[in-house]
């Protein structure tokens, strides 16, 4: 079997990881693995059961009822299948995002999903994004990029994204949520958000998406050629 190439993209909430990784994967012909969506699916499952994200006893009680699968459609878009149901759209709320940040800190949850993520990287050329891909999930990834931007920039982009979808969006509220999420992700005891020692940091605060994609392609080309 040919060696598979793995690209790890880490960074804080709202840095544009999913949008950029998805487009990059499409242009390079890689599988895109949105690990945030996996954890959102877990959070959504427990939310349906009425289990609070910090309720570890409740999580242990119901975790065996959960099955998660990833399916890719003809356009390479990742779909999250929870207990046979496609919940791809249902998990994309600010509330579920906050709960996913809390629930993903539990070792029992991370252990449940770790092999699933690593197996995808063994089977395909992947671009995987999340909070601890380069540090924990794929510590031997061929390329590691830490994608970030100022909190205010991330909040503004998220606000514009929601307004563009015709949804309500409050910039100040979104900024507060992003700062709260940053604090949760960087201070959690298990697999906190941090840049891997061998990662390339890319601050996109002053860049548009085309410039980010070009910069990332350049980083990938240099690293893979080594």
pLDDT digits (tens, 9 = 90+) for 25-59: 999 999 999 888 999 999 999 999 999 999 999 99
**pLDDT tens column, 135-187:** 999 999 999 999 999 999 999 999 998 899 898 899 999 999 999 989 988 98
The DSSP line for 62-100 is HGGG--EEEEE-TT--EEEEETTEE-TTTT-SHHHHHHH
| CB contact at 8 A, 219 and 202 | yes
Question: pTM to 2 decimals?
Answer: 0.82
Helix (H, G, I), strand (E, B) or coil at 190: coil
pLDDT of 159 reads 94
| Spatial strand order in the sheet of 200-203 | 31-34, 126-130, 6-10, 143-148, 200-203
**pLDDT tens column, 89-148:** 999 988 999 899 899 889 999 988 998 899 989 988 999 998 889 999 999 999 999 999
pLDDT of 1 reads 53
CA 37, CA 87: separation in Å to the nearest integer? 10
């Amino acid at each position: 079997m040919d060696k598979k190439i793995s690209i790890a993209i880490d960074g804080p909430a709202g840095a544009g990881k999913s949008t950029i990784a998805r487009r990059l994967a499409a242009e390079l012909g890689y599988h895109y693995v949105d690990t945030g969506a996996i954890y959102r699916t877990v959070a959504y499952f427990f939310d349906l059961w009425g289990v609070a994200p910090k309720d570890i006893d409740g999580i242990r009680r119901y975790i065996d009822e959960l099955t998660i699968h990833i399916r890719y459609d003809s356009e390479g878009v990742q779909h999250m299948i929870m207990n046979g149901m496609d919940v791809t759209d249902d998990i994309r709320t600010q509330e579920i995002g906050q709960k996913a940040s809390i629930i993903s800190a539990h070792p029992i949850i991370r252990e449940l999903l770790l092999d699933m993520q690593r197996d995808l990287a063994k089977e395909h050329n992947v671009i995987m994004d999340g909070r601890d891909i380069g540090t924990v999930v794929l510590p031997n990834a061929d390329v590691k990029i830490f994608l970030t931007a100022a909190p205010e920039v991330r909040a503004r982009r998220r606000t514009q994204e929601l307004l563009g979808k015709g949804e309500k969006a409050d910039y100040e509220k979104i900024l507060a949520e992003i700062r709260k999420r940053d604090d949760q992700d960087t201070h959690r005891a298990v697999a906190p958000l941090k840049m891997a020692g061998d990662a390339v940091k890319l601050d996109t605060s002053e860049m548009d998406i085309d410039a980010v994609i070009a910069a990332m392609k350049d980083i990938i080309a240099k690293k893979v050629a080594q």
